[in-house]
Amino acid sequence: MSAQTAIRVTHLSKTFNQHRVVDDVSFTVPAGEVFGLLGPNGAGKTTILRMLTTLLTPSAGHIAIFGHDLQTAGRAARACFGVTGQNAALDEDLSARENLLIFSRLNGLTRAQARQRTQELLNEFSLTHSADKPIATFSGGMRRRVDLAISLITRPALIFLDEPTTGLDPRTRTQMWTTIRHLVAQGSTVFLTTQYLEEADTLADRIAVIDHGKLIRTGTPAALKEATGASKLVLTIADLDQVTPAAQVLATALEAHPQVSGHTLTTPFHTTDQVAIGLSALKRAAIPVAHLAVQAPTLDDVFMALTVGQN
């Protein structure tokens, strides 16, 4: 049983100066799963992650990593996982190769093994060209790659990623996602925190939503989206007189309640077919559409929907 459970968290709390940052959080991550912890800034994501990685001691509750209780077997637990933090924790003065070599040695590899593993990781993360330049000269994306490479030295069964793509440009973000998917394909369990719903959606099997230190809901991305309502179709109608008739047309065609604001109509929808239905209904009614946009549910929507649902 415990062998199949990567992370078991029971009634975890953390209090800083009488301020409850994490409040009675419990969840279980089975081995092989990608588990996303989703929440806005200051929700307690990083605090939970720091407790999971033994950097903070919980005020109450228990954490077990692959069956090792962190309070009694912290060192055995630390041998099971790798961490990639929010700020790449690297030696700025040292090169990528030196950083990898030193951390390989600290992870118990022999000199020869360390050299070999370093070369493997440099290849895998396309860092061979800059391997011997100091980290201080690296871009944000390259730093993250070195950082991730370091946490993969021991091929850990469990990898913690703290906001792995925050502050990265879209291209680097996509590269990072590919790397993470590759890890998952190799059978690693991944625990990631993020503030992007899209990221949790593309990567995670299951998502826990957290706000003000409390676990609001745990579920698959699909279940979560169900709770958020839907995507929104945003239409701009050129002629102000036609906005009200357009709203009526959409309301009938989509069985929804469009929100009107100036020239803009915002209508929730569930399937892409509905977009086509709505647009052709407008065309039949001879109402020209000046601009069209589709809004995916944002983290705001998730919180609105979930917290409203709770109250």
Partner 1 sequence: MTHSLFQNIGTMAYRNLLKTLHNPDQFMDVLIQPILFMILFGYLFGGAIAGGVHAYLPTIVPGILAQTVLSAASGSGAQIREDVDAGVFDRFKSLPIARIAPLAGQLLADSLRLLVATVASLLTGYCMGWRPNVAFGWVVVILLLAVFIGWAISWIYALVGLLSSSAAMVQSFSLMTMLLLAFLSNAFVPIKTLPKLLQIIATLNPVTYVITAIRQILARGTLTPTAGWVFLMGWGIVLVFAPLTIWAYDRRN
The residues of the shown chain that bind partner 1, judged by CB under 8 A, are 53-57, 75-76, 78-79, 81, 83, 85, 87-94, 98, 102-103, 105-108, 134, 150
Separation CA 299–CA 279 (nearest Å): 27
Name the minimum Å distance from CB 280 to partner 1: 55
The helix (H) or strand (E) run that includes residue 303 is helix 299-310
Name the minimum Å distance from CB 186 to partner 1: 21
Residue 308 has what DSSP assignment? H
Residue linked to tokens 């503030």:
195
* 31 vs 56 by CB, closer to partner 1: 56
Question: Would you state the structure tokens that stand for residue 8, as one six-digit string?
Answer: 């078991």
* 48 vs 209 by CB, closer to partner 1: 48
Q: Which long-range contacts (CB under 8 A, 24 or more apart) does 126-135 make?
A: 127/96, 130/96, 131/95, 131/96, 131/97, 132/95, 132/96, 132/97, 133/95, 133/96, 134/92, 134/93, 134/94, 134/95, 135/88, 135/90, 135/91, 135/92, 135/93, 135/94, 135/95, 135/96, 135/99
Name the minimum Å distance from CB 30 to partner 1: 22
* 94 vs 251 by CB, closer to partner 1: 94
Name the minimum Å distance from CB 13 to partner 1: 15
Find all residues with CB under 8 Å of 244, minimum gap 6, and list them: 260
* 77 vs 253 by CB, closer to partner 1: 77
* 74 vs 229 by CB, closer to partner 1: 74
Separation CA 161–CA 87 (nearest Å): 11
* 101 vs 282 by CB, closer to partner 1: 101
Name the minimum Å distance from CB 82 to partner 1: 8
Name the minimum Å distance from CB 97 to partner 1: 11
Report the 10 Å Cβ neighbour count for 171: 9
